[in-house]
Structure 1
Amino acid sequence: MSKKIITVFGATGNQGGSTVSAILNNPSLSSKYKIRAITRDPSKPGARALASKGAELAKADLNDIGSVKSAIAGSYGVFAVTNYWETTSKSGEFQQGKNIVDACKDQGIKHLVWSSLPNVTKMTSGHLTKVEHFDSKAGVAEYAEQVKGDLIVSYFMPAYFMSNLPGQIRVDPETGFPTLSMPWNPTTTWLPMIDIRSDTGLYTAGLFEAGSEANGVHVQGVSEWVHPQQITDILCQITGDEVCFVEEPASIEDAARMGNRIAEELTQNMILIRDYSYFGKGTDKKQAESDRFLVPAAKKSTWKDFAEKVQWQW
């Protein structure tokens, strides 16, 4: 029996790469699915490495729906992720996602797994309106639900990247200690985190396996829920250094006064975590609903697992 083709956008990146690895490195999954890896440049080492593992390489321009249709033709499933930060355009990212949805409909794809996020403006009843890189992806999900018809669409929503933290912990010039400064309460804020390269594929491959059971499902992609103080306490244990967490004040008004659109967006993003636990109030208690879609016998990374692999330099 021929294998079903799973076309993966961003195949050499974090989420796409993790999806590819989860399938190719799992004998049960690799016996069912063949990977078509969409990359910008198939000649680059990362792309050639995928080809050496049996992936088919292809190129596509997300701004050109004809290109997307050609790239996914003949596929059973598609994993799609877009990058808001390339253009910082909410409308541009929405159009790319819409192109993917429309192309999947046109080509008769059976299952689309879309990398999405919550609609922050709606979730916060208009309290936070500037977190565009969430709202643009959520807009694509809303569009997909309106038009999908027989297309199965599942939504993977990645949590806060653990890989962000090495660049955010800096030496405080006053104390001399490595310090993480964020507008979060150290012991009551719930922060969902994901080892994006390791754990994305555990969810996305699991969604493909779930098939119609995963239709319309929004999965919280979380490796571990932690309080901010736990982040630095674990680093103290690992490194033997004094690593501190400092709660810094932040408000919507402060963010608006920055006069910088991206800085305002990122500040509201941190307030989202503080006041709404990223996915919404109380969502830390609902993680098991998402984890039932993990591939069988999956072992997610903890913050300690991730931190032990980092060469910490203060």
Structure 2
Amino acid sequence: MTAKIITVFGATGNQGGSTVSAILNNPSLSSKYKIRAITRDPSKPAAQALASRGAELAKADLNDIASVKAAIAGSYGVFAVTNYWETTSKSGETQQGKNIVDACKEQGVQHLVWSSLPNVTQLTHGQLSKVEHFDSKAEVAEYAERVKGDMIVSYFMPGYFMSNLTGQIGRDPDSGTVSLSLPWDPTTTWVPVIDIQKDTGLFTAGLFEAASKANGVSVQGVSEWLHPRQITDTLSEVTGKDVVFVQQPASVESAASLGNRIAEELTQNMILIRDYSYFGKGAEKDQAESDQFLVAGAKKNTWKQFAETAQWKW
């Protein structure tokens, strides 16, 4: 049986790299699928490392739909992720996503897995309207649902990156206290954390395996749901050092007063987690519905396991 080609955008990044590894490291999956890794520079060591593992390398510019079409030609499946932070342009990221959707349709791709996020403006009824890096991806998903025809489209929605916490937890130079300071309630806020490098592929490869059963499905990409104090208590246990959580005040008004659109966006993002459980109120109760799409036999990483191997600079 000829292996089906799955083209992976951002193959040397977090989500794309995890998708590649989930397939290449699984004998059952690697016998079914051949990886085509899309990277901006196939000559770089990270790309060459993928080639040495058996991936085919290709290059594409997401702003040039012709190059996207050429890159995905002959693919059974496509995993696609875009990076808002490269340009901080909502319209730019949305157009890149639409280019991918249109190219997949025109090239006869059977299954697209799109890295998406909730539409925060809609979810919060306009209360939080500045979280562009969520809304842009959600608008691409909405577009895909309108135009996909008989193409299967699935949506992977990654939670809060555990790796973000390595930069957010630090030592106060004055008090010497190691702390995590964010506008969350320490014992009631649910934070959906994910080991983005290890666990993304367990979901995305699982969606490809589910085929038509995953059509139109949005999965919550979460390794573990935790309260903020559980995050710091676990880190104290792992490192043997006191780590505390400090709740910071935040409101839509205070975010707007920052006078910086990126700072306002990120503050609203934290309020989204505090007041809407990131994916919507009560989303923590629904995780099992998403976990059924994990690769068979997969075990997600825990925050404790991540913390034990992470590099802490304090």
Regarding TM over 0.5, the answer is: yes
Do residues 124 (structure 1) and 124 (structure 2) align? yes
CA distance in 2 between partners of 1:243 and 1:9 (Å):
37
Unaligned runs of 5+ in 1: none
* AA at the equivalent of 1:33: Y
Do residues 286 (structure 1) and 286 (structure 2) align? yes
Do residues 215 (structure 1) and 212 (structure 2) align? no
* AA at the equivalent of 1:102: D
CA distance in 1 between partners of 2:313 and 2:105 (Å):
48
- CA-CA distance at 1:312 after TM superposition: 1.5
- CA-CA distance at 1:57 after TM superposition: 0.1
- CA-CA distance at 1:176 after TM superposition: 1.1
CA distance in 1 between partners of 2:241 and 2:166 (Å):
15
- CA-CA distance at 1:311 after TM superposition: 2.4
CA distance in 1 between partners of 2:232 and 2:207 (Å):
33
CA distance in 2 between partners of 1:272 and 1:162 (Å):
17
Partner of 2:61: 61
Partner of 1:180: 180
3-state SS, counterpart of residue 46 of structure 1? helix
* 2:113 and 2:153 in contact (8 A); partners too: yes
CA distance in 1 between partners of 2:193 and 2:96 (Å):
26
CA deviations 1:108-152 (Å, max 9, x no partner) are: 000000000000000000010000000000000000000000110
TM-score, normalising length: structure 1: 0.99
The equivalences for 1:23-102 within 5 A come to 23-102=23-102
Partner of 1:133: 133
- Return 172-181 or 246-255, whichever deviates more: 172-181
- CA-CA distance at 1:281 after TM superposition: 0.2
Partner of 1:313: 313
- CA-CA distance at 1:174 after TM superposition: 4.0
* 2:166 and 2:311 in contact (8 A); partners too: no
* 2:158 and 2:196 in contact (8 A); partners too: yes
- CA-CA distance at 1:173 after TM superposition: 3.4
3-state SS, counterpart of residue 281 of structure 2? coil
CA distance in 1 between partners of 2:107 and 2:310 (Å):
42
CA distance in 2 between partners of 1:160 and 1:223 (Å):
10
3-state SS, counterpart of residue 31 of structure 1? helix
The equivalences for 1:146-225 within 5 A come to 146-225=146-225
Give the aligned CA root-mean-square deviation in angstroms: 0.6
3-state SS, counterpart of residue 271 of structure 1? helix
Aligned residues: 314
- CA-CA distance at 1:175 after TM superposition: 2.6
Quick one: percent identity of the two aligned structures? Answer: 80
Unaligned runs of 5+ in 2: none
